[in-house]
Chain A
Amino acid sequence: MIPAAFDYVRAESAGHALELLAEHGDEAKLLAGGHSLIPLMKFRLAAPAVVVDIGRITELSYVRDAGDHLAIGALTRHRDIEISELVGTQAGLLAAATSKVGDPQVRHRGTIGGALAHGDPASDIPAALLALRATMVVEGPDGQREVSSDDFFTGFLETTIGEQDLLTEIRVPKVPDAGWSFQKFNRRAQDWAIVGAAVLVNGGSCGVGLVNMDSRPVRAAGVESAIAGGADAADAAASAADGLEPPADLNAGVEYRQHLARVLTRRGLEEAGA
């Protein structure tokens, strides 16, 4: 399969990428690691007239200790996050979720920002960042803005990133003493999750992000408030699927996904020490 023809432009810096987006408008798509966009282009589900390659902007590839949070450049590759000692010790849930993305070859190319900008509810990364209460930094024509992970995902493959915006940084609160668990249920090693649960337990509160349980990445808010109210893991997990509308496909129907969400959330809460 070969993508439809397009013009290729390489951005040399974040500022240059913003200029190119302003110049080409809605005809342009940003290419980071390419492991979401290139498959879509090969299937011709996406056919941008202009591809702006931001994959060589090294200034957006980093993991830094920024006091109360980690600052992660949007173009940091999954592999670099997976093996980052800083991420492993300060936000182990993100390292664990990242290590479950695709396979080693995919993780050598794919980036955290690319996975987030794609906005896929079946992706592992958003669930972990929702549980961790991360913040995304987006730059656009009107300057920089911070978007909470709760407000970032707006629909199926849709985010708050506008056509002339660039996701530049992900800010992840440091939680070195928190318990965590990433539960991914799939049938074959490299598959997408049929359902997944990212669980963070920090003192008496918890964060639960779910994979593939709605049209967009979501938190299990009912579970979080139940834990905050003193419920045990089993009772809290019973509400994991409440109010959510998971998809039905070859792998699982709606009811089975709801069942998986409850089971995986319970296992996650128990493993994380709730």
Chain B
Amino acid sequence: MTINGTLVSLDVEPRTLLVHYLRDHAGLTGTNVGCDTSSCGACTVHLDGEAVKSCTVLAVQADDREITTIEGLADGDVLHPMQQAFHECHALQCGYCTPGMIMAAVSLLDEVPNPTEADVREGLEGNLCRCTGYHNIVQAVLQAAGGDGGGR
């Protein structure tokens, strides 16, 4: 599969989950394992540009596909606009949910470029922040969207 623009080819057991492939085999530990039951969204990555929960995808299902992880968002030292917005809005407390939140938020803006606050809250329903720091996360996504918050 292609991970963050680099072709990665490794032999793994069919039962290897994508999140373990990324962390343990490809050495990309930015993607976290949270609940391990496709509820919390900490393991969210992009599969062919769309947010998926990598704890519920087999690595073999991503064979020949494009994967983007949190490590692949920034352009060198220049943060992705969503990362910059999370930074400026202090959209994190402990930070554990942050990689998944950012990946889900980028995917959300691809589908709904000018979201309302309600769109953002609903669009991030698959990501849990156990610090309950949702307010600043929502503000960051709205800032990154750069729209008027008035809807698509």
Residues in chain A within 8 A of chain B (CB atoms): 1-8, 10, 31, 34-35, 38-39, 41-42, 51, 53, 55, 79, 102-106, 108-109, 189-190
Contacts and interface: CB of A to CB of B under 8 A. Distances in A.
Interface residues of B, number: 31
Contacts of A31: 58, 61
Contacts of B53: 105-106, 109
11 contacts: A1-B36, A1-B37, A5-B14, A5-B15, A34-B58, A38-B56, A39-B38, A104-B104, A104-B108, A109-B57, A190-B39
Interface stretch (B72-80, B83-91, B121-129, B141-149): B121-129
Interface of B: 13-17, 20, 36-39, 41, 44, 47, 50-53, 56-58, 60-61, 104, 107-108, 111, 122-123, 125-127
B39 A108 contact: no
Contacts of B104: 104-105
Residue among A8, A53, A102, A103 with max Cβ neighbours from chain B (10 Å): A103
A109 B47 CA distance: 10
A104 B107 contact: yes
A189 B122 contact: yes
Contacts, number: 79
A104 B15 contact: no
A10 B65 CA distance: 15
Contacts of B52: 105, 108-109
Contacts of B126: 102-106, 190
Contacts of B38: 35, 39, 102, 105-106
A111 B36 CA distance: 21
